[in-house]
Structure 1
Amino acid sequence: MPPPEVSTEAVVSTAPDPGAPADHLGPVDEGNDAVDTDDTLDLRLPDELVALIAEESLTSADGAATADDGLLDQLAGWGPVPTSAGVFQLVPARTERDLPLISRWMNDPAVAAFWELEGSVSLTAAHLDAQLAGDGRSVPCLGVLGGVPMSYFEIYRADLDPLARHYPARPHDTGIHLLIGAVGDRGRGLGAVLLRAVADLVLDRRPACSRVVAEPDLRNTASISAFLNAGFRFSAELELPDKRAALMMRDRALRGLI
């Protein structure tokens, strides 16, 4: 479970509970327009990561067991999807490979305000390891856009998370936590683009899931706006242990209308 703050980021605690991903969606922009992808980020996808993405995709295609086989329907094999900002893919995180990058993002003040994982690399490592050592109900991922790792996601079973104690959960409800890493990628409409893409991935790849949920801090108005622009609806205010949150939902039945 992420540091103290739940939500879209999700519910967080310094020593994360594998079943409770980070509560915060970190800094997110409000727009939903097509994104200009001409800007060059300072981080290009290393050849090793390209190879690992291919390796993980092949492993999933071959039917090899993965940690989330039974709970998140082989997330590692969900594959890339087109978006208005470029081709996007969720790549399950590995501590030994991705910790420096994710820790750097967590130490950005705008991210730290909601994720509360700033400081030593060991804090981020503990947060990742708690999920990776669990039963697969929460999967930390890099969001790779156009070949560039530029965001961090946690896809989790909300119905198996402590969050389920605070709202009328349904079987297979799936939660999203998101942060956008680079300052240059914020304020460009990417938050809504990525949230819509990931919510669609969940609904397409998890036929038993009827709703995608998130619980951003009510103070995080940019995050809430991004969810609304991504086709989520505001459902309720939740009094969670570490914050007052907006319960956001994207319903399978409404996905073609919002």
Structure 2
Amino acid sequence: MQGQPAHPAARPRRTGRPGRHAVRVRHRRQPGARPVSVPAGTRAPAGVRSARPGDVAGRDVAGRDVAGWGPVATPDGPFRLLPVRGGEHLGLLHRWMNDPVVAEYWDLAGPPARTEEHLRAQTGGDGRSVPCLGLLDGRPTSYWEIYRADLDPLADHYAARPHDTGVHLLIGEAADRGRGLGALLLDAVARLVLDRRPGCPRLVAEPDVRNHASLGAFRKAGFRRAGTLELPGKRAALMIRGRGVVGGTH
């Protein structure tokens, strides 16, 4: 999560696909996937391919049934994911994206049309990425992108496993930052995904290596650092949380 004392933006700078905690994991997606170059000395894992326009193999894979996942208990109350409905949620998300702390890492500050375009690229896509609001005790506190990492261009940069699930997150309100909420929410989402998606072996994220607040939040939420990735636009820490993790233990 990035920020000074905040955990505002965990959005990875992703290659070639639409959209991602205002911790910064930011490896930005754009509408219409494009091939990415594999860094020297690495190769894409066997049997894994990057997402491409028109490829529907990922349909429903990120969990279009997220709305039915229900809540998970946290010390601050029940938490659940609510898939974004553009018209209804656009105003809130536009305000969050224009918060300077969030904008520094998500690069989506600007008119409502810019936020709308970003959301449309995901909600109108192939189901590999599901944009959601995070509701804590009924109150919107965060924005999430839950995506199939093994079908994303990110898979060209690490040894992806089938059904790996990636997460991006931002914490929208300044009052919610700097109090450990990022780790709490990351743990909640990890438990939700791993429980509701039995075929998913682990969660992955790619925060910027300079984002020490974000790295700390991921570690507290039970993610371990599994390496460093040279991604387009940033040097990232590969953070992974597998099954069998409780709280902040590995």
Cα shift readout 1:30-67 (whole Å, capped 9, x = no counterpart): xxxxxxxxxxxxxxxxxxxxxxxxxxxxxxxxxxxxx9
The answer for unaligned runs of 5 or more in structure 1 is 1-6, 29-66
Question: In the alignment, does 2:100 pair up with 1:109?
Answer: yes
TM normalised by structure 1 equals: 0.76
User: For residue 17 of structure 2, what is the amino acid of its counterpart?
Assistant: D
**Deviation string, structure 1 residues 63-119 (Cα, Å, up to 9, x no partner):** xxxx96444262121011110111111000011011110111111111111111011
**Match of residue 242 from structure 2:** 251
Q: Secondary structure at the match of 1:227?
A: helix
Instruction: Report the equivalent of 1:26.
Output: 22
SS of alignment partner, residue 237 of structure 1: strand
* 1: CA distance, partners of 2:244 / 2:64: 20
Partner of 1:35 in structure 2? Answer: none
Match of residue 218, structure 1, among 203, 209, 214: 209
Separation of aligned partners in 2, 1:78 and 1:247: 26
- Percent identity over paired residues: 59
2:90 paired residue among 82, 89, 99: 99
Alpha-carbon distance in structure 2 between the residues aligned to 1:11 and 1:159: 16
Is the 8 Å Cα contact of residues 235 and 247 (structure 1) preserved in structure 2?
yes
RMSD, aligned CA: 2.0
| Greater helix fraction, Structure 1 or Structure 2 | 1
Q: Where do residues 226-245 of structure 1 align in structure 2 (5 Å cutoff)?
A: 226-245=217-236
Distance (whole Å) between structure 2 residues aligned to residue 111 and residue 164 of structure 1: 26
Aligned length: 208
* 1:123 maps onto 2:114 in alignment: yes
Cα distance in 1, alignment partners of residues 14 and 160 from structure 2: 19
Three-state SS of the structure 2 residue aligned to 1:105 is helix
Aligned residue number for residue 17 of structure 1? 17
TM-score, normalised on structure 2? 0.78
Structure 2 spans left out of the alignment, 5+ residues? 1-8, 25-57
